[in-house]
Amino acid sequence: MYTLDPLEYEQYTGIVFENNKKVLYLVLTKVMYGMLVASYYGTKIRKDLMSIGFKFSEYDPCVAFRQRVGSQHTIRFHVDDMASSHRNKKVNDKFLKWLNNKYGSIKKVKATRGNKQKYLGMVINFEKRGCVRFEQFDKVTDLIENGHVKLKRSDTAMTPGSNNLIIDNKERKEQYNNVVAKAIFMSKRSRPDIQPTVAVLATRIREPSESDWSVMVRLLKYLNGTRNKCLTLRVDNLNILKWYVDVSLGLHPDFKSHTGGVLTMRHGAIISMSRKQKLNTRNTCEAELVGADDMSVLILWTKLFLEELGYTVDRNILKQDNKAAILLETNGRKSVGRRNRAINVRYFFLPIKLQEGM
């Protein structure tokens, strides 16, 4: 814009400088990346899918399902990328034909099939019977080779983070932010093992320090030594959900604690979370109680979502390693002692849900 009409935009430059360069910020009157079109597409396809018997999930608006040939036909979409699954290949064939009849005049709807599927920046691999792998090997390689740090193949680390993750001071902001943004994308999809380190690095986006840079380099070294690792899921029993929640007390510079949690049904983290707590706690018991509350939304949502899809959840189990916190979560205020009497009443939501059977 500035190149096309410098006289028009010259008056707005020179106000903001970043890294000693003039920066021109603009207010957009229309949303970029075709999202207005995407919004229309979402409304239309929702209506069209409902007209052929699909019901949309109340817990995830991008999931729809219906019964066909004695089994459930499930679709999951993200803007104009759609994943369709059914036991019977012909159901997917008919659905593809319907999509082309409906939208093919705009652009032909293409389908890919097989045990390896590219979807939303991942390769979903079903080649090994009984398990599914979420791979992003190319993105790991890109992050290592374009991560602003020169690494040899031998530059590796045993774990993604060091014992001391938090520090202060300023520098190398742009490169740091670039690496962290890419790492966040991977940690949410195929590499939950780096999630705790990435969660901490993300809290330092505004003021990264040289020490933060060192933590980022260690993360890159760890990825360098584990390029071929990916998230692999296996399920023994869809009727039993096992959640593991733990906290690290006072980890952050403002002395707030950090919650980590994971759902597994045998092997692999189906859902994982690593998050800084929003309030200060005075002891491990309180921090564990807040951590369980942090995770409770996912614990309850997952059960409701699976039941809506037709699965029966017999047991929704929360596992922790703090006896005092477990007593508080089971008995509510009855188990409150002198040290914990000031804990907010909102954190006694779990005892009610436990009595209701989660």
Asked which of 64, 99, 134 is the last residue of a domain, the reply is 134
* pLDDT for res 356: 66
In this structure, is residue 257 part of a structural domain?
yes
Helix (H, G, I), strand (E, B) or coil at 242: strand
Of all residues in the chain, the percent with pLDDT exceeding 90 is 48
Residue 141 shares a structural domain with residue 88:
no
Residue 104 shares a structural domain with residue 210:
no
Residue 221 shares a structural domain with residue 313:
no
Residue 214 shares a structural domain with residue 266:
no
Give the global pTM: 0.71
In this structure, is residue 14 part of a structural domain?
no
Q: Which residue has the higher pLDDT, 329 or 184?
A: 184
pLDDT band of residue 350 (cuts 50, 70, 90) is low
Reading across the β-sheet that carries 63-68, which strands appear in turn? 55-56, 63-68, 71-78, 81-85
* pLDDT for res 282: 81
Residue 258 shares a structural domain with residue 194:
no
What span, in angstroms and rounded, lies between the C-alpha atoms of 121 and 119? 6
* pLDDT for res 358: 61
User: pLDDT for 2-50, tens place per residue?
Assistant: 777 777 777 776 667 777 777 777 776 665 555 545 555 677 888 999 9
Report the pLDDT averaged over residues 96-123. Answer: 90
Range of the domain at 255: 236-355
What span, in angstroms and rounded, lies between the C-alpha atoms of 201 and 186? 14
Residue 343 shares a structural domain with residue 249:
yes
Report the pLDDT averaged over residues 92-117. Answer: 91
For residue 281, give both structure tokens: 């706690």
Bridge pairing between strands 240-248 and 315-319: parallel
* pLDDT for res 193: 94
pLDDT band of residue 167 (cuts 50, 70, 90) is very low
Residue 242 shares a structural domain with residue 332:
yes
Q: Which residue has the higher pLDDT, 353 or 55?
A: 55
Asked which of 184, 206, 225 is the last residue of a domain, the reply is 225
What span, in angstroms and rounded, lies between the C-alpha atoms of 257 and 183? 22
* Residue 73: exposure state from Cβ atoms within 10 A (0-12, 13-18, ≥19): buried
Asked which of 177, 193, 225 is the last residue of a domain, the reply is 225
User: pLDDT for 279-338, tens place per residue?
Assistant: 888 888 889 988 998 899 899 999 999 999 999 999 999 999 988 888 877 776 555 555
User: pLDDT for 137-161, tens place per residue?
Assistant: 999 999 999 878 889 989 999 989 7
In this structure, is residue 271 part of a structural domain?
yes
Residue 69 shares a structural domain with residue 117:
yes
Backbone angles phi, psi at 156, to 5 degrees: -135, 170
User: Which region among 39-53, 156-170, 203-217 has the lowest average model confidence (pLDDT)?
Assistant: 156-170
Residue 250 shares a structural domain with residue 298:
yes
In this structure, is residue 6 part of a structural domain?
no
In this structure, is residue 24 part of a structural domain?
no
Domain count, the chain: 3
Q: Which residue has the higher pLDDT, 147 or 54?
A: 54
* pLDDT for res 349: 62
Tell me what the pLDDT averaged over the chain comes to: 85
What span, in angstroms and rounded, lies between the C-alpha atoms of 115 and 268? 19
pLDDT band of residue 205 (cuts 50, 70, 90) is confident
The one-letter amino acid code at 97 reads: K
Q: Residue 209's CB: how many other CB atoms inside 10 A? A: 17
Helix (H, G, I), strand (E, B) or coil at 133: strand
Say which CATH number the domain at 293 has. Answer: 3.30.420.10
Q: Cα 285 from chain centroid?
A: 27
8 A C-beta contact, residue 117 and residue 123: yes
In this structure, is residue 230 part of a structural domain?
no
Q: Cα 149 from chain centroid?
A: 26
User: pLDDT for 220-276, tens place per residue?
Assistant: 999 999 999 999 999 988 899 999 999 999 888 888 999 999 999 989 999 999 999
Residue 129 shares a structural domain with residue 139:
no
In this structure, is residue 301 part of a structural domain?
yes
* pLDDT for res 18: 77
Residue 207 shares a structural domain with residue 249:
no
Nearest to 316 by CA among 240, 235, 263, 234: 240
* pLDDT for res 19: 77
In this structure, is residue 231 part of a structural domain?
no
Helix (H, G, I), strand (E, B) or coil at 173: helix
Residue 326 shares a structural domain with residue 286:
yes
